[in-house]
Structure 1
Amino acid sequence: MRDHQRTEDPVPGNLPLELDAFVGRTAELAGLARALDASRLVTVTGPGGVGKSRLAARAGAGRTPRDGVWRAELAPLRDPEFVEHAVVEALALTDHTARPPLDALCDHLAERELLLLLDGFEHLVDACAQLVGELLRRAPGLRVLAVGRRPLGVPGELLFPLAPLGEDDAVRLLRERTERQGVPLADDPDVRELCRRLDGIPLAVELAAGRLRALAPRRLLDRLGDRFRLLDGGPCDGLPRHRTLRTAIGWSHELCTPPERLLWARLSVFAGTFDLEAAEYVCSGDGLPSDDVLDVLARLLDQSVLAREETPAGVRYRMLDTVRAYGAEWLTATGDAERLRRRHRDWYLGLATWCELEWFSPRQHEVAARVEAELPNLREALEHCLSEPDGTHLGQYLAGSLWFHWVGCGRLAEGRHWLVRCLEPETERAAARGAGEQSRLKALWVLGYVAVLQGDPVTALGALEECREAAERVASPTAMAYAEHRRGCLALVTDDMACAERLLRSALERYREIGELNSNVLMGQVELAMTRAFQGDLADAVRLCEDVRRVCEDHGERWARGYALYVLAYAAWREGELATARELLTEGLKGAHAFRDLLGSVLAVELLALVTVAEGDPAEAAVLQGAAAGMWPSVGLPLFGSAYYNAPHERCEALAREQLGDERYARGVREGTRLGREAAVARALRGGPADGDRALSAVPAPRGAVARGAPEGAEQHEPAASRTRRGGETAG
């Protein structure tokens, strides 16, 4: 398969932008391009710091597969179980279902043509090899460019060993980096000798460039020779390049002041990126005052030990994996590693607590971005909680406090992973020996909530009943309210409206009694409104959701507000107010998509399809139904398998088929199914295809379609009262 793309279209993907010049490697780039043409799996190998990641990213940027180039960074992962999750995340694939992430990946990639760049897999080689082998077998349009210090060992793998830079390129790199810092550097014998002594390893050259602001090349050469003549001082694999790299890092470490070495070691407890506040809390004390952390961190930046990044969550810092590993060895040698890991855990427990509170505030989008950026560190904190004999209840608290991220930001599968681990029998016994019943109750109702949204009523009911019984035993009105609320939500999606209304009203009354008000409570009121709408009382549904909308606007809440807008749009459609319904759905879809809330997005697209056919455009309605059909497999059972939720879908399909005919309707659905999530949402928000991209959607609707598409009364949209209520008795 040769990569192809229309030249006027941008190639989708998530490759990082290059912040500084790419120097040399012309022959290597050409060779890697040929390797990618020849094999569906190419692995760039070489020692840490030799430039594998940068070369692979530059090579990936030169490819133009139809469905893009996507990079999954695996270095921050510790748990092999998260390799598949990391690839799901890298592909921006939101999957709400309970199916394994491998199945979601294979379904997503089955008919796509893209390049997947797996960076930093060497500590997870078995899990990565298994995943890559399976993906290549089941996705014929996939190519994989892997980056690591060893081969994957997958059949068909083509190895691309990367050597260090030649002397001329190493000198060019050193001069470019120092000139960027305002330090002009002549191409003299000392500079060339320095690059030779560093074996042309780019990371070593970058570290040297950071030091040349303060020392002349000759001084650096003297220090290198004096301190590391024997190239010892730690474990190595015997290869000269590897020893040189370790020497270069150790040399840079030796040139640091004691506070700089101390901070370097302590920063190694972070996974992925971190911000200044976290560094100040976790790393200060015992020889490093909090007020000094910023200055010391700035000096590590100057020396290229750290890199600075601008992200949606603000300025963050990153330490290369090789540099972090060196710092971790020093931290272990000081005997302070366990204390620093506990401080790291405590900071992220506090951060999760703050974020849960601030989720119900005008800072909701800021919270979403912050947790997304901190996810590697939150995973590290969760692992640490579960590794301690008395830390299980802390893990339950942390996993439960992140409910808004699991549910509201498209991470149901990962949330379930952590919640199940925290509630496993062996960890439960550990928790029972300590104090943590409230944390356990919270983890139970959050697990129940996640399972409801994943379409797993058995797990949901088990967790929620266990939560309810334990809440009665320990007299926890808060846990009782949440358990009852989520049982009502389960009854709603399994079509037992009477049970759902009873449970949701009771839960809302309990919330009022204990003074609870947050996004969960508002969602309970939205769900109650949905039961009223499905039972024909549109006025009550509108009243409830207008109240939710007012409260959301008072508090700056946007996530629950989107679901209230959905119910209001449903009521507007039922009343024939199509312009109002479209306006409400468009606003709600924008918000849901910004949060990566796939459930909110697909519900809005489904209802927009119905509004579209009622407006007289059955062809575009068919495309939107196809787009929704393409999204549902990543959400769960389409429309929850609910007759109530499905009735508008069935009406839209009937109207569109009537006006288009079966063949043209099916063609429109196929067109929509081929849209990716981003394209589907963009099309729904535009109200039609982009200019120059009209296909079936250009087919005009027959005259009179608006009148035939408009709702004719509540009774025709309600499922028959005699329809089977699946799961109603158990849900109640």
Structure 2
Amino acid sequence: MPSTPVPGSLPPLAESLVRLRRAARLSQRALAERTGLSERAIRDLEKGVTTRPHAWSLRAIADALGLDDRARQALLDAAAERPPAVPQPFEDGDPMVGRSAELARLADLVQGRRHRLVTLTGAGGMGKSRLAAELAAHLRRVGTEVAFVDLSALDDPALVGEVVAESVRAGGRSRLDPVSRIAAELRGSRLVLVLDGFERLLDAATVVARLVAACPALSVVVTSRLPLRVASEREFRLDPLPVPGPDEPDIAEMPSVRLLLARTRHDFTLTPQNAGAVAAICRAVEGLPLGLELAAARLRVLSPQELLDRLAQPLAVLSGNTRDAPPRHRSLRAAIESSLDVLGGPSRHLFTSLGAFPAGVRLADLEEITARDGTDPGLVLGALADLADASLIRLRAEPGGTRYTLPDAMRELAAEQLALHPDAVTLRGHVSGHYLGRVRAAAQRPDGSGYADLEPDRDNVRAAVTWSRHHHPAVFDLATVDALYRLFELRGRFAEGRATLTALADAAVPARSRALVRAGRLSHHVGDLETARDLGLQAQQAAECDDHEGQALAGMLLGSLAIELDPAQAQPILTQALGAAKAHGEDGLIGRALNNLAAATANTGDLPEAQRLMREALQAKRRAGASDVDTGRTLMNLAELALADGRWLASATHGSEAATVLGRAEDPRLQAYALSIVAVARLRESPSGDTGALVALATRAVELLDRIGEDRSMRGLVRARFSVVLRGAGEVTRAIEELTGAAESLRGGCLPYQVAPVIESHAELIAPADPETAALLLGLATAMRGRTATTPPSPVDRYGSGIALYAGDPASGLLAAAQIMRGEMENTRHRKIVTTLQEL
């Protein structure tokens, strides 16, 4: 008998059979006798003469050799010349982490047989195969027969039926189709068939549906990135693992943290020092199991904080070197790309297009943008559905409609693909033009609600401004710059707005002067007066001589700054600005100029004239049909001037009207300010009235502060007035705390006539029980107003001491008032505090 060829020089099936027979210590004759095959048949197989044996022949050989499931599958793979399947994870001694609830629900579905076709869906790297393998192991432990078929290496849907038939011993040559053979083989036997990796074989979905219909005792569990979309299907979507929040006190039991720790090196431990970074890593990979496992691999060479610092670009960082992992699971990039590979061309194109939307996109916006290229809206909706089915996008319900967003890693890949796309410039131009158009449209709505609608698209607007500044600066005309300014002002994003508008000015956009003056106004809001003045002067120089509107706006900014920096120059500058506004001839601009001139006049102490000018400003704005914000601002200023002049009823009336108008305009910043004025005015008008109602009103104003952004001076003035109402309600300790906090917020950006009424109100409330402290407070307020009372309150020496306390800064005046109310202005402490205040 000729010798058996040396293994290694043979085809895969022949070599496998030689090695398996030798390991079993059987001769070719003995193996033939055990299988019922001829000795020649065995010899031809081992020589490689026969390369395509019948499936029943291979099953007989496997039974004769006593092969377990893994070795049996390896023999079948060798016959089909497929690479050997990766061992199932539940057999590796590497326990599944964080999916016990999902496993229990899935097992209940399958064992209860309420749904006989269950498709386990989710994005690449979500752990579908792992969960399916754990399900198979669980079912076997409870005595259920399971056939697990890995289809991930199969590309031809036409072969699915045959592969499944072989897995249940119904393969081989036959005139019957695979479904009929399987039905005949099972004959009502209870079996759970697990088909793993079906997303490339969706054209075979009808085969699976027929199989379920033909086999009453069969249950099928499919893992796929996309649902099969057949009538009998029950989809079971797998979501990311829960991640700890930023302030989570104990993260050790969070599923994402448990998985991350389970996959790190054995000497890595969670400590109070690294817990914050570990939690942030879990959030950065958004609970994706594959991302967590790849991050764990990086924790073998990086500290948690070092890894976190690099996760701004997760695709570049999260790749592994596990050699036995399927290629699609060796990096986060590969997982996402393999998910894209199963989609059609329109869906892949839409995924790339979404890289232009850092904040995601609403369907209405997306359809409007893509319609510019003649894209059928029906294609867009269908592509979105495909991306959602593949778990490549997330859906978030909003008042304006559903928003479609990409997780961080997927957004990074989409942006990379978009940068290489030949139509990228055209698409980005359409996207930028759309969102700048929405900003301009919002400015045309008098109630300000359009800006609130834009808030979810904040990052899209930022991207639109940046792209257009570099590629299409001509778009930034007066209307666009003004609309951007109103967006930043209304949403309280002063620092960002200043940086954006300054960058536009540096890019020499058409409305350069307007961008400079608007940036200066936002600098004023954050208390940076010197920068604001520099920007105002640049705006004045950039405006043409016959640009009366530009000259007026620059002058109004410089005049407002002069009220605080150089009071003697404020009225002349603002009077000149008013002249430019009148030369321009637009009532709205005239009204704004009168408004600013009234503020400068009030700062000189001439409150009656200031009120006259403010009323004139209101009339001009109303003639112009000004927006609710512009009208509400002037009404609020009238209320403040009346409060400073002791006209409580007029102050409350104007303030209430202002609060209503500003509430309609959805301007929480100015509405909070108006409400705080009303609360103090009503208290001063009726100190013994319903203080509970006034506390509620003032509290509402304070609650609005959470929405006003970076305006510290506005925050300080509202809290200062809140302290008055608290004092009127008898909450002395809280009142002093609020007054102290207000003083700390008001470092610049407020005027004496705005602050003095607060201190005077406290003095009046204190006077009945403590006239000496009241006199000290009134002296301080008098000094802030810049005048001396004709009849100083008694005792005179305390009043004079109060005047001496004022260090020339309204914020220091508030701080001094808080310390007076604490009783801290005595003896050496008194002198020390005075010195401190003078140094502020």
Aligned equivalents of 2:489, 2:725: Cα separation in 1: 27
Query: 1:494, CA displacement in angstroms?
Result: 5.9
Aligned equivalents of 2:504, 2:598: Cα separation in 1: 23
Does the 8 A contact of 1:49 with 1:322 survive in 2?
A: no
Give the number of the structure whose alpha-carbon radius of gyration is greater: 2
Is 2:747 the partner of 1:643? Answer: no
Deviations 1:181-230 (A, max 9, x none): xxxxxxxxxxxx8x5232354x4xxxxxxxxxxxxxxxxxxxxxxxxxxx
Query: 1:53, CA displacement in angstroms?
Result: 11
Match of 2:682 in 1: 572
Does the 8 A contact of 2:347 with 2:386 survive in 1?
A: yes
Does the 8 A contact of 1:545 with 1:564 survive in 2?
A: yes
Pairwise mapping of residues 88-487 of structure 1 onto structure 2 (< 5 A)?
164=320, 196-201=326-331, 203=332, 245-246=333-334, 248-286=335-373, 288-310=375-397, 315-358=402-445, 360=447, 363=449, 367-368=451-452, 370-388=453-471, 390-391=473-474, 393-394=476-477, 397-424=479-506, 427-428=507-508, 430-431=509-510, 436=511, 441=514, 443=515, 446-460=518-532, 463=536, 466=540, 468-469=550-551, 472=580, 475=584, 477=586, 480-481=589-590, 484=593, 487=596
Does the 8 A contact of 2:628 with 2:662 survive in 1?
A: no
Query: 1:335, CA displacement in angstroms?
Result: 2.1
Match of 1:37 in 2: 273
Aligned equivalents of 1:11, 1:502: Cα separation in 2: 52
Match of 2:726 in 1: 612
Are residues 720 and 410 of structure 1, via their aligned partners in 2, closer, same or farther at CA, if it must alter by over 3 Å?
Answer: closer
Does the 8 A contact of 2:552 with 2:593 survive in 1?
A: no
Aligned equivalents of 2:695, 2:770: Cα separation in 1: 14
Does the 8 A contact of 1:484 with 1:503 survive in 2?
A: no
Match of 1:24 in 2: 259
Point out the more displaced range, 281-290 or 715-724: 715-724
State the secondary structure of the residue aligned to 2:403: strand
Point out the more displaced range, 397-406 or 254-263: 397-406
Does the 8 A contact of 1:272 with 1:377 survive in 2?
A: yes
Are residues 585 and 357 of structure 1, via their aligned partners in 2, closer, same or farther at CA, if it must alter by over 3 Å?
Answer: farther
Query: 1:523, CA displacement in angstroms?
Result: 0.8
Deviations 1:580-614 (A, max 9, x none): 53232122223343455755544332222222223
Match of 1:585 in 2: 698
State the secondary structure of the residue aligned to 2:329: coil
Aligned equivalents of 1:292, 1:19: Cα separation in 2: 40
Deviations 1:513-564 (A, max 9, x none): 3222321221122113212321333343333223334545777776544332
Query: 1:299, CA displacement in angstroms?
Result: 0.9
**TM-score normalised according to structure 1 size:** 0.55
Deviations 1:9-54 (A, max 9, x none): x9847999x9997883332579775476369988969x99996997
Does the 8 A contact of 2:439 with 2:480 survive in 1?
A: yes
State the secondary structure of the residue aligned to 1:37: coil
Amino acid at match of 1:722: R
Amino acid at match of 2:346: P
Match of 1:234 in 2: none
Aligned equivalents of 1:448, 1:483: Cα separation in 2: 16
Query: 1:271, CA displacement in angstroms?
Result: 1.4
Deviations 1:39-77 (A, max 9, x none): 9988969x9999699759x99xxxxxxxxxxxxxxxxxx
Does the 8 A contact of 2:760 with 2:778 survive in 1?
A: no
Does the 8 A contact of 1:495 with 1:642 survive in 2?
A: no
| Equivalent of 1:529 in 634, 639, 644 | 639
Are residues 49 and 569 of structure 1, via their aligned partners in 2, closer, same or farther at CA, if it must alter by over 3 Å?
Answer: closer
Long gaps (5+) in structure 2: 1-244, 297-303, 541-548, 554-579, 789-805, 810-840
Are residues 199 and 54 of structure 1, via their aligned partners in 2, closer, same or farther at CA, if it must alter by over 3 Å?
Answer: closer
Amino acid at match of 2:491: C
**TM-score normalised according to structure 2 size:** 0.49
Amino acid at match of 2:521: Y
Query: 1:343, CA displacement in angstroms?
Result: 0.9
Query: 1:452, CA displacement in angstroms?
Result: 3.1
Deviations 1:262-299 (A, max 9, x none): 21222211113222222222234546312331221121
Amino acid at match of 1:591: L
Are residues 501 and 381 of structure 1, via their aligned partners in 2, closer, same or farther at CA, if it must alter by over 3 Å?
Answer: farther
State the secondary structure of the residue aligned to 1:515: coil
Aligned equivalents of 1:282, 1:587: Cα separation in 2: 40
Are residues 294 and 420 of structure 1, via their aligned partners in 2, closer, same or farther at CA, if it must alter by over 3 Å?
Answer: same
Match of 1:519 in 2: 629
Query: C-alpha root-mean-square deviation of aligned residues, in Å?
Result: 5.2
Are residues 515 and 405 of structure 1, via their aligned partners in 2, closer, same or farther at CA, if it must alter by over 3 Å?
Answer: closer
Query: 1:414, CA displacement in angstroms?
Result: 0.7
Are residues 408 and 506 of structure 1, via their aligned partners in 2, closer, same or farther at CA, if it must alter by over 3 Å?
Answer: same
Amino acid at match of 2:527: G
Aligned equivalents of 1:14, 1:311: Cα separation in 2: 30
Does the 8 A contact of 2:274 with 2:305 survive in 1?
A: no
Aligned equivalents of 2:457, 2:345: Cα separation in 1: 28
Are residues 349 and 263 of structure 1, via their aligned partners in 2, closer, same or farther at CA, if it must alter by over 3 Å?
Answer: same
Match of 2:26 in 1: none
Aligned equivalents of 2:250, 2:351: Cα separation in 1: 28
State the secondary structure of the residue aligned to 1:309: strand
Match of 1:136 in 2: none
Aligned equivalents of 1:377, 1:646: Cα separation in 2: 40
Aligned equivalents of 1:150, 1:654: Cα separation in 2: 64
Q: Give identity over the alignment, percent.
A: 20
Higher relative contact order (CA 8 A, sep 6+): 1
Query: 1:337, CA displacement in angstroms?
Result: 1.1
Does the 8 A contact of 1:478 with 1:511 survive in 2?
A: yes
State the secondary structure of the residue aligned to 2:430: helix
Query: 1:448, CA displacement in angstroms?
Result: 4.3
Aligned equivalents of 2:706, 2:458: Cα separation in 1: 19
State the secondary structure of the residue aligned to 2:356: coil
Aligned equivalents of 1:546, 1:711: Cα separation in 2: 31
State the secondary structure of the residue aligned to 1:384: helix
Are residues 27 and 375 of structure 1, via their aligned partners in 2, closer, same or farther at CA, if it must alter by over 3 Å?
Answer: same
State the secondary structure of the residue aligned to 1:541: helix
Match of 2:3 in 1: none
Amino acid at match of 2:273: D
Are residues 51 and 444 of structure 1, via their aligned partners in 2, closer, same or farther at CA, if it must alter by over 3 Å?
Answer: same
Aligned residue pair count: 495
Does the 8 A contact of 1:613 with 1:652 survive in 2?
A: no
Aligned equivalents of 1:22, 1:614: Cα separation in 2: 51
